Amino acid sequence: MTASAPTVLATSIGFDSRARGPYDWSPGPVFDLAFDLAGAPGRPRICHLATATGDDPARVGAFYAAFAGRPVDVSHLSLFTMPTVADVRAHLLAQDVVWVGGGSVANLLAVWRVHGLDEVLAEAWRAGVVLGGVSAGSLCWHVGGTTDSFGPHLRPVTNGLALLPHSNSVHHDSEPGRRPLYRRLVGDGTLPAGYASEDGVGLVYRGTELVEAVADRPGTSAWHVRRLPGQAPDGTEAEETRIAPRRLR
């Protein structure tokens, strides 16, 4: 089954931890939401892309282990040192959900474009495959956002896939530099208006419009950030409007 409209689930939500090691993951409710958005197939198909961490085998293996014993068909597409599936387009179009992990969004975008994945993923999105992910896997679908891909000091990334004509900020509450830089970049026009997610928050887009924010924990927020005609009280030309997320069960 596929989504009834082009759908993106862009998040600052990772796996839950079983606390038995760094990659001992358990899929939280955000994955149930992704499958629901895909039309609630009886045995959903999900493909993991770990390009942002160089297709780290430990993370790829942890993704499979997280879903072990569940009625989910898991696959992955690695691009290092060559694609791991013979027909990348056919494989991605056959999925219900494509889930992109965090890491370097700048490297991810460069590698995807070399392999033509930018065009394939756009086709999959239009066909109703739910595109989702965390951190870099959130930023990539937007015009751009803030990233540490270039070093420890946050910088703008402005060459996202732009399936969504908005900017994006992830980890908006947990990484102190994200919020002020994002406000400045939107305020000075480097980035278009967009949406920010605190840790534990996801953004659901149907077509190119945000339809809701969701959260897997209490006390969290999403934010709409837009440029102002004049200056905001703190001197930036941007303002934030809180979006209360729906709590996922």
Q: Find the catalytic residue in 48, 166, 171, 172.
A: 171
Our answer to whether residue 135 is catalytic in this structure is yes
Q: Is 103 left (phi over 0), alpha (psi -120 to 50) or beta?
A: left
| Residue 186 neighbours by CB under 8 Å, 6+ apart | 167, 192, 193, 194, 225, 226, 227, 238
| Residue 229 neighbours by CB under 8 Å, 6+ apart | none
Our answer to whether residue 224 is catalytic in this structure is no
Rg (CA), the chain: 17
Give which of 116, 168, 162, 112 is closest to 138, Cα–Cα: 168
Integer Cα distance of 155 and 157 in angstroms: 7
| Residue 75 neighbours by CB under 8 Å, 6+ apart | 45, 46, 47, 48, 85, 91, 95
Q: Find the catalytic residue in 12, 78, 135, 167.
A: 135
Residues taking part in catalysis: 135, 171
